[in-house]
Structure 1
Amino acid sequence: MNLYTTSGTPEFMEKVREKHSGEDMVLLHGAGNSLLLHETEGKTVFQTPKRYEVIGASGPLAKHGYYIVNNIPVTDEGRPIFEHRFQNRANMVDGQPGFLTFRLLRPIKDDTYRVVTAWESKDHYELWKGSQAFKSAHDRKEQTPPAEKTQHIFSAASYITEYETEKPEDEKI
């Protein structure tokens, strides 16, 4: 399975989604731009997409909800280690209150992996962040074998982007 993204103004992204209504797409709105996700076994309809291979998944792409995208730049040498770590915690969000979607995305042409989760609301995401399951999933000391502790697998600092499937009230026409 592949997942493709493209970004632009909310109006343009909506037109692209409407033009390809038969495709599995989700339109997300964030600070300053909108992001369109296209999940497919085949080729994308986007002209200039970012391309990812889905290497971990839980749940369908949620059509409504609060999305978190954790952007994690990883060195070429660090890819196997990074993917192994995520395989060990792949299902830790399953069953959490308000959890809808998980995707672990391996980049095709760049170094930034994307960890995508969708929640019923921002409040549900905040509850997850305060949970013991979250602490366990993010406790690197417990999960990192001694041989990996000296390896630098990240090429830059990670960052989180937040999106909603509904436009903020001040952007609605």
Structure 2
Amino acid sequence: MKIFITTGTLDFLKKIEKKYPLERMLAMLNENGALLLHETNEQTVFNEPRRYEVLESYGELKKEGFVVMNNIAVTDEGRPLFEHQFKQQAETLVNTSGLTALRLLRSLNSNPYILMTIWENKDLYQKWQSTNTTFNALMADFNGPQNLFIDAPYTSKYTIAENSES
């Protein structure tokens, strides 16, 4: 499975989404702009997307919710360890109340990995993040003495743009 991501204005991206109703696509919006995600086993319809391989997958992508993308730049030597550690933690993470989908994405063109989680809403994500020791343990595993990171991880948050007529 692959995921392709492109950016543009929300109106433009919604037109692409509407043009391909049989494709699994999600339009997302935050204060910095909009993006459109295309999940497929085939070729993408995007002209120049960012390209990712799906390493771990849980849940279906739905056209509602709150999306958190943790961008994690990992050294070439650290990639096998990072993927192994994530797989060890994934089962605990996917059983979290309010989590509807998860994708671990490995870039096909460059770094970073993206840990994408989709939540029922922003409040459930914030509650989990602030009270759950699993989140802290997951981050601590990646911040160990192995020095897996090239740069500090960063997070992008989006609201899924619900179906609307453009």
Report how far residue 61 of structure 1 moved: 1.1
Tell me which residue corresponds to 2:134. Answer: 133
Partner letter of residue 136 of structure 2?
A: K
Tell me which residue corresponds to 2:156. Answer: 161
Distance of 1:99 and 1:49 partners within structure 2:
26
Q: C-alpha root-mean-square deviation of aligned residues, in Å?
A: 1.8
Tell me which residue corresponds to 1:107. Answer: 107
Structure 1 length-normalised TM: 0.87
Is contact 2:5-2:38 (8 Å) kept? yes
Q: Please list the CA deviations of residues 1-55 of structure 1 after superposition, one character each: whole Å capped at 9, or x if unmatched.
A: 1111001111111111111111000111112211111100111110001000000
Partner of 1:14, secondary structure, is helix
Distance of 2:152 and 2:17 partners within structure 1:
32
Tell me which residue corresponds to 1:12. Answer: 12
Partner letter of residue 120 of structure 2?
A: E
Partner of 2:55, secondary structure, is strand
Bigger CA radius of gyration: 1
Judging changes above 3 Å, is the alpha-carbon distance between structure 1 residues 136 and 153 closer, same or farther for their aligned structure 2 residues?
closer
Segments ≥4 residues shifted beyond 3 Å: none
Distance of 1:132 and 1:78 partners within structure 2:
24
Is contact 1:54-1:103 (8 Å) kept? yes
Is contact 1:92-1:137 (8 Å) kept? no
Is contact 1:4-1:52 (8 Å) kept? yes
Q: Please list the CA deviations of residues 61-87 of structure 1 after superposition, one character each: whole Å capped at 9, or x if unmatched.
A: 121000000001112222111111111
Structure 2 length-normalised TM: 0.90
Is contact 2:26-2:36 (8 Å) kept? yes
Partner letter of residue 90 of structure 1?
A: A
Tell me which residue corresponds to 1:170. Answer: none
Partner letter of residue 94 of structure 2?
A: D
Report how far residue 135 of structure 1 moved: 2.7
Partner letter of residue 5 of structure 2?
A: T
Partner letter of residue 154 of structure 1?
A: F
Partner letter of residue 15 of structure 1?
A: K
For structure 1, the residue ranges without an aligned partner over 5 or more in a row are 168-172
Tell me which residue corresponds to 2:69. Answer: 69
Question: What is the number of residues matched between the two proteins?
Answer: 162
Q: Please list the CA deviations of residues 137-164 of structure 1 after superposition, one character each: whole Å capped at 9, or x if unmatched.
A: 23328x95xxxx2x33211111100000
Is contact 2:85-2:141 (8 Å) kept? no
Q: Please list the CA deviations of residues 53-112 of structure 1 after superposition, one character each: whole Å capped at 9, or x if unmatched.
A: 000011011210000000011122221111111111112222322110100001101011
The percentage of counterpart residues that share the same residue type is 38
Report how far residue 132 of structure 1 moved: 2.5
Tell me which residue corresponds to 2:95. Answer: 95
